[in-house]
């Protein structure tokens, strides 16, 4: 049998995605049950335990396939980027009615109705997908109303068909977002999560982890030690890290050095990172 990446293929010795029958060995196979993320942000863990490491996160409105539910945990695969992991079953709902809008503000509040003075009930991240059924206006503020009557500021949303023109601009909007290992939202994000979310908002679906992105996004660039020839939107990869070029000299990246999404001169970052992780391994142009 071919060894498949367990991050992108749902297989364990006891259970596997039925679509992998003949490619992996398992005691049993299951057809995934469609479900949708209902929580603002859902941690996807590497084991069905609250203290297990978070590999990535899913956002409200993301569709998944659930292969197993046991003791409050679901073993699932994201239909957005194919990532496999364990998540709380309580944060999943049936797929009823397709989302119509996506959150474009870094964060937005959900109110019990069209009144911004009401206590906010929850907060959604950029990239969350919601189903809007009508609109309302109150004292000059436009609201998007959800099926349950809750309301979101209308200007914080756009229809799902529209996309941003420049993914780097989205990354810039997330500047100063706290760094969070495994984070993929505007509440907390890591380096590859920043690339994935920014590109998602620009209508491009990319894989999650840095090694996946380094081998799949765009084409490689022949960049010498002088770091010349880079331009806005190019990606710089180190072992386990990625940064986005803002122009020919500066980057933006979620990093553990500042513990937030921040700007930095590329040459400074290369020198600073070199003694721990070496020099950049590849440059790619999306």
Residue 188 sits in the same domain as residue 279: yes
Is residue 137 in a domain? yes
What does pLDDT average to over the chain? 97
**CATH number, domain at 183?**
3.90.1720.10
Q: Considering Cα of 102, then 105, then 106, then 108, what sign does the dihedral take?
A: negative
pLDDT at 1: 57
Q: Answer whether 244's CB lies under 8 Å from 168's CB.
A: yes
**In the chain, what are the helix, strand and coil shares in percent, each to the nearest 5?**
15, 40, 45
pLDDT digits (tens, 9 = 90+) for 97-112: 999 999 999 999 999 9
**Predicted pLDDT of residue 2:** 65
Residue 40 counted as domain residue: yes
Q: Which residues share a beta bridge with 244?
A: 235, 252
d(CA 176, CA 186): 10
Residue 108: which CATH number?
2.30.30
Are 190 and 147 within one domain?
no
- Identify whether 5 is part of a domain: no
Residue 269 pLDDT > 80, yes or no?
A: yes
Q: Tell me the CB-side half-sphere exposure of residue 11, using CA atoms within 13 A.
A: 18
Same domain, yes or no: 173 and 279: yes
82 band by pLDDT with thresholds 50, 70 and 90: very high
Residues 173 and 277 reside in one and the same domain: yes
Same domain flag for 49 and 107: no
pLDDT for the residue 193: 98
> What do you get for the CA distance between the two ends of the chain, in Å?
33
**Dihedral angle, C-alpha 5, 9, 14, 18, nearest 10 °:** -140
Q: Region 242-255: what's the mean pLDDT?
A: 98
pTM for this prediction: 0.96
- Determine the average pLDDT of the residues in 200-208: 98
Mean pLDDT score, 205-213: 98
Domain-located, residue 52: yes
Confidence of residue 127 (pLDDT cuts 50, 70, 90): very high
Mean pLDDT computed over 166-187: 98
Domain assignment of residue 139, yes or no? yes
- Please spell the DSSP secondary structure of 125-166, one letter per residue: ETT-EE-EEEEEEETTEEEEEETTS-EEEGGGEEETT---S-
Does residue 3 lie within any of the structural domains?
A: no
Q: Is the pLDDT of residue 221 over 80?
A: yes
User: Do residues 84 and 109 both lie within one domain?
Assistant: no
Domain containing residue 128:
101-159
Do 44 and 108 lie in a common domain? Answer: no
Cα 41 from chain centre: 10
Residue 208: pLDDT over 90: yes
Q: Is residue 149 part of a domain?
A: yes
User: Is residue 261 in a domain?
Assistant: yes
SS3 269: helix
Q: Are the C-beta atoms of 37 and 64 separated by less than 8 Å?
A: yes
Based on the fold, state whether residues 57 and 140 are members of the same structural domain.
Answer: no
Q: What is the CATH classification number for the domain harbouring 39?
A: 2.30.30.40
The tally of domains found in the chain comes to: 3
DSSP 178: B
Res 276: pLDDT: 86
- Beta strands 122-125; 129-130: pairing state: unpaired
What Å distances lie between residue 161 and 100, 125, 135, 144, 157, CA to CA?
8, 18, 18, 17, 12
């Amino acid at each position: 049998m071919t060894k498949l990446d367990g991050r992108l293929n749902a297989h364990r010795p006891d259970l596997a995605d039925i679509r992998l029958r003949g490619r992996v060995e398992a005691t049993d196979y299951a057809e995934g049950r469609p479900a949708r993320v209902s929580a603002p942000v859902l941690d996807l863990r590497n084991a069905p335990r609250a203290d297990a490491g978070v590999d990535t996160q899913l956002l409200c409105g993301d569709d998944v396939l659930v292969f197993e539910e046991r003791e409050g945990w679901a073993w699932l695969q994201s239909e957005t980027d194919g990532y496999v992991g364990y998540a709380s079953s309580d944060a999943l709902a049936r797929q009823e009615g397709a989302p119509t809008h996506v959150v474009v503000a870094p964060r937005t509040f959900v109110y019990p109705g069209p009144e911004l003075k009401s206590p906010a009930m929850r907060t959604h991240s950029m990239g969350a997908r919601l189903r809007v059924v009508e609109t309302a206006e109150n004292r000059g503020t436009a609201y998007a109303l959800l099926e349950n009557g809750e309301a979101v500021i209308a200007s914080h949303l756009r229809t799902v068909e529209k996309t941003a023109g420049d993914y780097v601009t989205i990354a810039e909007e997330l500047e100063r977002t706290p760094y969070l290992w495994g984070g993929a939202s505007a509440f907390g994000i890591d380096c590859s999560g920043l690339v994935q979310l920014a590109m998602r908002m620009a209508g491009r679906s990319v894989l999650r982890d840095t090694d996946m992105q380094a081998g799949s996004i765009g084409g490689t660039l022949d960049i010498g030690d002088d770091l010349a020839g880079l331009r806005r939107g190019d990606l710089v990869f180190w072992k386990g890290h990625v940064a986005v070029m803002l122009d020919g000299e500066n980057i933006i990246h979620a990093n553990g050095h500042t513990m937030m999404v921040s700007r930095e001169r590329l040459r400074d970052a290369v020198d600073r990172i070199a003694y721990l992780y070496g020099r950049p391994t590849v440059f790619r142009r999306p």
